[in-house]
Amino acid sequence: MNTTTLQNGAFGQAGALPSAEQRNRVLRNTYWLLALSMVPTVLGAWIGVVTGFAAAMSPGIGMIVFLVGAFGFMFAIEKTKDSAAGVPMLLGFTFFMGLMLARMVGAVLGLANGAGLIMMAFAGTGAIFFGMASLSTIIKRDLTSMGKWLFIGMIMLLVAGIANFFIQSSALMITLSVLAIGIFSAFILHDLKRVQDGYETNYITATLGVYLSLYNVFQSLLAIFGLTSGKDE
C-alpha cells in the first residue's frame, strides 16, 4: 500500500493573514513549482525502470530506503524552505520519489496494455487535481478543521499499508487504494484552500503537501488498474 503519506499535516498558523495579492502569488508559485516537480519525478521513474534500481532491492529493503529517504528529504526541505536551496531540495526529493515509484511502474508495464494503464492513472490523477483545484475556488468556508481528521485517516492508512506489506492481500490493497484516493483527494482540496485563505504562506511547503497527495493518488490508481488488469488476464 502507499506509504508515502508524510508531511501533509501541519495545520494552522498564527498571525495576520496576508493580502489577496500575496495569497495569489503563493498559489501561482505553488502551481508552477508543482508542474516543474513532475519533470524530475518522470525522469526518476524512467531511470528506475531502465536501470532496474528499485526492482533490484527486496521489498523490505525498498521500504526502508523509501522511508529513510523520504523523511530525510522532507526534514531537509523544512530546513531550507526559506532559502535558495529550498527549490533544488524539493526537486531532488521528487526525483527520489520517481525513482521509488519505478518498481510499480515497471510491474504495470509488464502487463498487457501496461502503458495504457499508466496513462489512465495519469489522466485520472490530473482530473482529480483539476477537480479539487476548481472546488477550492468555489468553497467559501474555512476547511482548516478537516485537516486533523484527514491526518488521522492518513495515519490509519499508513498502519494498514504496513500491515498489508506482510499480509500481501490483493483485496485489502485495492480497498486501501480506494480509501487513499478519497483521503488524498480531500488533502489536495484542503492544502490548496489553506493557500487561498492565507494560512499557508510558503509555496515550497504548499507544493510539497500537494505533490505528496498527487503522488499517492497516482500510485493508488496505478495499483488498482494493475491489480484488476492482472486478474482479468
pLDDT, one tens digit per residue, over 132-159 is 999 999 988 888 888 889 999 899 998 9
Q: What is the pLDDT of residues 17-59, one digit of tens each?
A: 778 888 899 999 999 999 999 999 999 999 999 998 877 888 7
Q: Please identify which residue in the block is written with the cell numbers 491489480.
A: 227
Residue pair 227/174 in contact (Cβ under 8 Å)? The answer is: yes
In a domain, 5, yes or no: no
3-class DSSP assignment, residue 165:
helix
Residue 98: inside a domain, yes or no?
A: yes
Nearest C-alpha neighbor of 48 from the set 2, 3, 109:
109
Per the structure, how many domains does the chain have? 1
Average pLDDT over residues 165-192: 91
**Residue 116 within any structural domain of the chain:** yes
Name the residue range of residue 60's domain. 20-232
Confidence of residue 102 (pLDDT cuts 50, 70, 90): very high
Q: Is the pTM of this model over 0.85?
A: yes
- Spatial separation of the C-alpha atoms in residues 44 and 97, rounded to whole Å: 7
Across the range 94-119, mean pLDDT stands at: 92
Q: What confidence score (pLDDT) does residue 193 get?
A: 93
Give how far Cα 122 sits from Cα of 128, 152, 153, 216, Å: 10, 27, 24, 12
92 within some domain? yes
> Which are the contacts of 63, defined by CB distance < 8 A and separation ≥ 6?
3, 165
- How far is Cα 98 from Cα 2, in angstroms, rounded to an integer? 14
**Do the Cβ atoms of 150 and 8 come closer than 8 Å?**
yes
Of residues 183 and 168, the one with the higher pLDDT is 183
CA distance 181 to 221: 8
- Contact criterion met (CB below 8 Å) for 99 and 47: yes
Is residue 133 helix, strand or coil? helix
